[in-house]
Amino acid sequence: MEAAFYIAGIVAIVSTVLTISRLNAVHALLYLIVSLLAVAVAFYAMGAPLVAALEVIVYAGAIMVLFVFVVMMLNLGKRAAIAEGQWMQGSIWVGPVLLSAVLIAEVVYLILRARLPEIAVGVIDPKQVGLALYGPYLIGVELASMLLLGALVGACHLGRPVHEKTEARYDRNSDGARAHSGGNLIRAGIGRTPDAP
């Protein structure tokens, strides 16, 4: 179990680093899924089987599918990867990376010096979690359900068919007709094009 935990941890860290450095969104998502699966294995090794299963079912199996679904629906293709490469340039990230490398080195040093505690004290089975969840944490469950309801309503509202009036306004903005109306909204509509007024 110890070895499984450490291997899963290393896999998770490496795949997360690869996630945030990919240019292609689908490749990044693939590495993120691997990272989540590795975290699930680590959970199982830590003696939390319920959470490990839920990590796979909900995180890797539902939330990430949503991401993949949206990326596929946008169908960005090669153009987006090139744009991403242009945005990724610049030396802004060098400073943070160096500083966090120092921090990581410190953490590794501290971990290696310290006496390692045992990874899994004991397995906490689903029954225990369920009893605690619907006992002292009942109010949290209610709040989470209200949050999810709010998200449901919000997503339905955002996903409804675009109102014709707003669509017409933005259509007008995006083709050359912006000269005679001016103002902030128009500039924002096209965003970062250099020829905005």
The residue from 4, 18, 126, 172 that contacts another protein (CB under 8 A) is 126
Tokens of 43: 């959970």
Are 45 and 120 in contact by the 8 Å Cβ rule? The answer is yes
Q: Quick check: 103 binds another protein (CB under 8 A)?
A: no
Q: Is 56 left (phi over 0), alpha (psi -120 to 50) or beta?
A: alpha
Q: Quick check: 76 binds another protein (CB under 8 A)?
A: yes
Q: Minimal distance in Å, beta carbon 144 to another protein?
A: 4
Q: Scan residues 128-167 and list those touching another protein (CB under 8 A).
A: 128-129, 131-133, 137, 140, 144, 147-148, 150-152, 154-155, 158-159, 162
Q: Scan residues 1-30 and list those touching another protein (CB under 8 A).
A: 16, 19-20, 24-30
Q: Quick check: 42 binds another protein (CB under 8 A)?
A: yes
Are 22 and 31 in contact by the 8 Å Cβ rule? The answer is yes
CA torsion, ordered 182, 183, 186, 188, to nearest 10 deg:
150
Q: Quick check: 91 binds another protein (CB under 8 A)?
A: no
Q: Minimal distance in Å, beta carbon 48 to another protein?
A: 5
CA distance 15 to 34: 7
Q: Quick check: 54 binds another protein (CB under 8 A)?
A: yes
